Structure 1
Amino acid sequence: MTPAARTHRTAVLALHYQNDVLHAQGCIRVGLAEDDPARERVIAAAGQLIAGARQLDLPLIHIRIAFRADYADLIQNCQIFRQTAQLGAVKDGTWGAAFFSGLEPIEDREHEFVLRHHRTSGFIGTPLELLLRKLGTRHLIVAGVATHSVVEMTARHAADLGYEVTIAADACAAARAEVHKASLASMSLIAEVGSVASALASEKDSR
């Protein structure tokens, strides 16, 4: 008789930790200047979140955005997507679309996954919801860049689907600090907003 699959109440979503978004030479760079210390703080916090998820044996789902070189799969119906094409950003198979060094997935780890999408919600056009159901997940720790786009859209989508959501705010960033803060304030109505350390500590304490 096959043993019952283990369930994982909490999973971590790591969103858009890619070169074009985080690297100083990236096309998008979430608006952080090359010498802005905020860049290193966000990268360090993201690293702590990813390492913490692995240490606690939490499912870790990396979601990356990437398009064909000719952007034939990019629906340019709004400014954020038109600008992506104008910048020549996140073309699949290029350095810019690859994961930032140190934040890349371990693809042979049992509960670590990589999904690719083309919109701002991590749920649109991906098997994310089916994967979370298979894992038995009801709580998501969400972080990534940018705060007001992929993080907020994914968090709101998750909340509408009935998931409990925690935002690891120090592992998120936006083009401007005030936009980041406003997005976090807005998400506080549908999610618990804290730090990487508090999110991981809460998960550890709940065991």
Structure 2
Amino acid sequence: MTGAAQWKQLREQLAPAGTVLLTVECQQGVVGRDGALPELAAAARSSGALRNVARLVAAAHEADVQVLHAVAERRPDGRGANRNARLFRAAARLPVQQYSGSTAVRIAAPIEVADEDLVVRRLHGLSPMAGTDVDPLLRNLGCRTLVVTGVSANVAIPNAVFDAVNLGYTVVVPADAIAGVPADYTPAMIRHTLALVSTIATTEEVLRCWRSPGRVTPG
């Protein structure tokens, strides 16, 4: 992002009082070192995306920006879980399951969860927003801009972005705080899809806005 006009727009979008930071499926069973999806976990770590999510969460805590963690899980008996796509059927056969109450559904290091953070857990679907408490919580919080981070750029992230836009929120995506597989798919998704409906920024740009919300300048 370059230019004074773009910086002014980003600063206004990220005003702490109307902004919520959403982390998507940043849980041990997904992005952890012993998770169910080692290729995705490796991409999230090697690209720096997971570390950048942690940096954004820490900065949000400092700037009084609300943080909301969206976690995907399932009951051991599978009740209520989807079975209507190959992805769901494959996930049910993985050696690590995202069972409710297990370590797999805890937020993964190095992300730190504060007492004021909200955690929304879903038992179904592909999106952290559709059919969950996320939208009413955002509205009650006075959210106007949703910062979307986490995994995966293949499925959950675009679902979250499109759902948020359809519900009337402005979306900011820190491009280096999301990950998918293969690695070269993520920048393609950002450039050809997410950039059409959201503001694409970097982690550092978002951090700069929250560190000095009244004095953001290019560079």
Q: Which runs of 5+ in 1 are unaligned?
A: 1-6
Query: Counterpart amino acid of 1:97?
Result: V
Query: 1:197 is matched by which residue type in structure 2?
Result: E
CA drift of 1:39 comes to 3.1
Whole-Å separation in 2 of the counterparts to 1:90 and 1:159? 28
**Counterpart position of 2:4:** none
Aligned partner of 2:18: which letter? Answer: R
State percent identity of aligned pairs. Answer: 26
The answer for the alignment partner of 2:26 in structure 1 is 17
Distance 1:128 1:28 in 2: 25
Tell me the TM-score normalised to structure 2 length.
Answer: 0.82
Name the SS of the counterpart of 2:132 in structure 1: coil
Residue pairs, 1:12-91, within 5 angstroms: 12-33=21-42, 38-39=45-46, 41-87=48-94, 88-91=96-99
Distance 1:66 1:159 in 2: 24
Could you tell me how far apart the structure 1 residues matched to 2:51 and 2:79 are? 35
**Distance in 2 between the 1:97 and 1:30 partners?**
18
Q: Match of 1:3? A: none
Conserved in 2, the CA contact under 8 Å of 1:169 and 1:195? yes
2:167 to 136, 161, 181: 161
- Partner amino acid, structure 1, of 2:32: H
**Mind listing any 5+ residue stretches in structure 2 that lack a counterpart?**
1-15, 215-219
Q: Does residue 122 of the first structure (1) align with residue 128 of the second (2)?
A: yes
SS at match of 1:24: coil
**Count of equivalent residues:** 196
CA displacement 1:148-203 (0-9 Å, x = unmatched): 21111001110111111000121111121122122212100000112111123234
Q: Does the 8 Å contact 1:28/1:89 carry over to 2? A: no
Distance in 1 separating the partners of 2:49 and 2:190: 15
Residues 114 and 131 of structure 1, relative CA distance in 2, 3 Å threshold? same
After TM superposition, the structure 1 stretch with the greater mean CA deviation from structure 2, 47-56 or 68-77, is 68-77
RMSD: 2.0
1:188 counterpart (175, 186, 195): 195
